[in-house]
Amino acid sequence: MDHFSQGNINYPPQPRSDAFSDPTTQTLNPIVVGSSVLAIKYKDGVMLAADTLASFGSLARFRDCERLYRVGDFTVLGASGDISDFQYTTHLLDTLVVEEYYTNDGHVLKPPNIYEYLSRLTYGKRNKFDPLLNSYVIGGFDGGEGFLGYVGHLGTSYQSSTIATGIGAHIAQPILRKVVEGRENTITEEEAIQVLEDCEKILYCRDGRSLNYYQRAKITAQGVEISGPHKVEGDWQYGVKFGKYGNFK
């Protein structure tokens, strides 16, 4: 099966294969990947959710991969896409946090700073044809209210009260928007947990690269709290329970 005979023959970029060329030093295609990340703003702050799966193509390779990463005291970074690039980014952010610490000037890295940093980083790398193949969700609490931003692999960035990456953008985003939009200051923690749980359940049903265990991160004035892995009950009785199992009945 030749997938590339139609369309752009220069994509995906192929490694140069003659003996005189240098080895490739950039991620060409995402290899080990994470699926969707969901995030919403609610009354007390923001909440993120991501399943704990890192897939290797169609193989569910790493079922305990933590895709929600704490940065400093008030920010959580969620990532979907290539895991190696995510690990590179978290390493960079670690270095950044340490540098801020030993500079010791009373300033700390806040969510908008992390957001801006990642936005510049990804855009710069994309311009050099060496992209970070990730979709990042930056969630945090700053200045008395929640902060929620998205940074993509092209350097696109925006802020919104609901964010969903990957297949979640098609499946979960409509639900998040319906429940959250307009009610960011009144939606309670229980409702927020419920809507994220519902969406993770639906994603487990309809996303072919998902898992029934997910992590949740809550960022409020009190700080960061990453909980999980929580289990999701999948309902596979569709059709059978209903008595409609099988075709041509």
Partner 1 sequence: MVTRLEQPRGGFNFDNFQRNVSLEQKGIRIPKPIKTGTTIAAIIYKDGVCLGADTRATSGPIVADKNCAKIHYLAPNIYCCGAGTAADTEFTTALISSQLELHRLTTGRQTRLSTARSMLCQMLFKYQGHVSAALIIGGYDVNGPNLYSVMPHGSVDNVPFMTMGSGSLAAMAVFERSWRKDLERQEAIDLVKDAIDAGIFNDLGSGSNVDINVIEKDKVDIYRNYYKPNERAPKEKVYKFKRGTTPILKESIKDILVITEGVEAMDIS
Q: Which residues bind partner 1 (CB under 8 A)?
A: 167, 170-175, 177-178, 198-199, 201-202, 205-206, 238-239, 241-242, 244, 246-249
Number of helices and strands in the chain (H, E): 4, 13
Least spacing, CB of residue 33 vs partner 1, in Å: 19
Taking only Cα atoms into account, the Rg of the chain, rounded to an integer number of angstroms, comes to 20
Asked whether the CA dihedral 80, 83, 84, 89 is positive or negative, the reply is positive
Least spacing, CB of residue 72 vs partner 1, in Å: 33
Comparing CB distances to partner 1, the nearer of 56 and 238 is: 238
- Distances in Å between the Cα of 104 and the Cα atoms of 81, 97, 99, 108, 206 are 34, 11, 9, 9, 48
Angle at Cα 148 formed by Cα 143 and Cα 152, nearest 5°? 140
Least spacing, CB of residue 91 vs partner 1, in Å: 34
- What is the bridge-based pairing of β-strands 45-51 and 37-42? antiparallel
Comparing CB distances to partner 1, the nearer of 152 and 168 is: 168
Comparing CB distances to partner 1, the nearer of 109 and 180 is: 180
Asked whether the CA dihedral 101, 106, 107, 108 is positive or negative, the reply is positive
Least spacing, CB of residue 208 vs partner 1, in Å: 12
Comparing CB distances to partner 1, the nearer of 13 and 174 is: 174
Q: Which residues are catalytic?
A: 27
